[in-house]
Structures are given as C-alpha cells and as structure tokens.
Amino acid sequence: ANSSADDINLWKNSTLNKILQRGELRVGMEPGYMPFEMKDKKGRIIGYDVDMAKKMAKEMGVKLKLVPTAWDGIIAGLLTNKYDIIMSGMTITQQRNLKINFADPYVVVGQTIMIRKELAGKIKSAADLDKPEYTVVSKLGVTGEIATRKFFKNAKIITFETESDAVSEVLNGKADGVVYDQPYNIVFMSDKGKDKLVHLDTPLTYEPLGWAIRKGDPDFLNWLNNFLRQMKGDKVVDFHGKLNEKWLRD
Ligand code: ARG
C-alpha cells in the first residue's frame, strides 16, 4: 500500500496538478478528422473534441491551448510533454495502451468503406472489393490502415499522410475504395461525397475512442473519468444526440 508521502508525491507530479499550477490545459490533436477536430473556413480548429476540451478547461478553471500535431508522432509528443492530453478521436488499441493510458471511451465507432459510385451494386462488402483489380486506400498509422491490411489481402493498398488525401484518391477515380472511421465517412457523404461515392456503412471493426494521457497518473485519470461520467449524464457527450445534431447534421 502507498504511504501518505507517496500519495502526496503522486499528486505533486500529477499532470492535473501541473495544469492547475500553470493555469493552462494543453491539448494535442490532429485537425482533419471530422467531426472531432477540423478547421473551419477561417482556419480555426473546431469539432467535438474541441467542445469537450473547452468544457474540460472550464471545469478546471484554466485556459485552454490547442496544440495541432501531425498524427505521426502524436503519441511521442505526449510522452515528451508537448501537451497534457491527446483528444484526437484516438481509438483505444491494446498496442497504444502499452505506451499510454486512456480515459474511458467517450464513443464507440468502427471502420467503414466509401467506394466509387460506379461500383455501386457490384461491390456490397469488403470481400467484394478484395480483388487484385481494385485499389483500396487509407491513412498511414491509423486503425483504418490496420483494418485495410486485415480485410484486404488481394486488392492493392496505398496509404496517405492525411485522411483527405486518401479520400481524394477515390474522388478523382485513382482508387476504388477508402477505409476510415464511420463518423468521418458520414460527414464526408453528407457533403463532398454526395453523388460521387457510396458508403458501405456496416462497421468492420469495434473501436472505442478515448482521451490519452501519460502512464502513472491515477489522479488525472480519476478526474477525467468522473468528468466524462458527468458529461454523459448531462447528455453533453451523447454521440447519437447532441453530437449528431451539431456535427453530423445531414
Ligand atoms: N480512430 C482512428 C485511430 O485512432 C483515427 C483517428 C484520427 N484522428 C485524427 N485526429 N486525425 O487510429
């Protein structure tokens, strides 16, 4: 059991304590993942995670600083203390969880496929698309890439640095399908993908999304999980309710 001196040290070193001392919460995220974090026409970062981060900072009584970060290196940035928390639609995978801790999931999503409209009817599932004559794209280093490699053993696979580059490839007919998180695909279909792509919207995977922090910080984790429980109870976090109304209007 911990002695009370250990507990005091734990709290002294807690990221939560440091946030309070600093008067600022620093949140790492990669904008581009609709509707969780993306840029509006004026270049401001908006989205579901941003709303949650604002609420979080408000409850802590501190200022909020968003730290835009490339996906590649987003975990390294947390480990080297460039920010206090990752709020970036990150799937809780067992491999990531070996390096970082996650608060409880705030929503569960899955990978879905958007295909060229011309293939509608002919392609109804991942298996239909898994043929050598087809090219499937995804984004490097995300769970979409993992699912693509798992479900496509015969099709050609190409990965891109950003989700928008991957989707563009299908829009301009250079690839046949793109595998990515269902919420992104829903938003995309309601806008740029309309009349151009077809959404095979049955999820291929089970993916809880969670906010990530450094390991060894029970005080911060406890605060986050209780904050999240309250947000859920107050229906602020409600993927099929308010989130849907605000960010997934279609
Ligand atoms: N859920 C997927 C993953 O964790 C994609 C998240 C991408 N997030 C972002 N902000 N670009 O791999």
> What are the structural domains, with CATH classification, of the chain?
4-108+207-247 (3.40.190.10), 111-200 (3.40.190.10)
Average confidence (pLDDT) over 155-174: 97
- Binding site membership of 227 for ligand 1 (Cβ less than 6 Å): no
Is 1 a residue whose pLDDT tops 90? no
Angle made by CA atoms 161, 167, 169, in degrees to the nearest 5: 90
Higher pLDDT, 21 or 2: 21
Nearest atom (ligand 1) to Cα of 145 = 12
- Residue 215: per-residue pLDDT: 98
Higher pLDDT, 4 or 212: 212
- Residue 249: per-residue pLDDT: 46
Nearest atom (ligand 1) to Cα of 31 = 10
- Residue 7: per-residue pLDDT: 85
Angle made by CA atoms 58, 59, 61, in degrees to the nearest 5: 60
Is 76 a residue whose pLDDT tops 80? yes
C-alpha of residue 202 to centroid of ligand 1, in Å: 19
**pLDDT tens-digit readout, 37-59:** 999 999 999 999 999 999 999 99
C-alpha of residue 123 to centroid of ligand 1, in Å: 26
d(CA 93, CA 148): 16
- Residue 3: per-residue pLDDT: 77
What confidence tier does 131 reach under pLDDT thresholds 50, 70, 90?
Answer: very high
Rg (CA), the chain: 19
- Residue 247: per-residue pLDDT: 62
Is 68 a residue whose pLDDT tops 80? yes
Is 101 a residue whose pLDDT tops 50? yes
Q: What share of the chain is helix, strand, coil (3-state, %, to 5)?
A: 40, 25, 40
What confidence tier does 241 reach under pLDDT thresholds 50, 70, 90?
Answer: low
- ipTM above 0.95 for this complex: yes
Measured on CA atoms in the order 245, 147, 143, 34, is the torsion positive or negative?
negative
Average confidence (pLDDT) over 103-129: 97
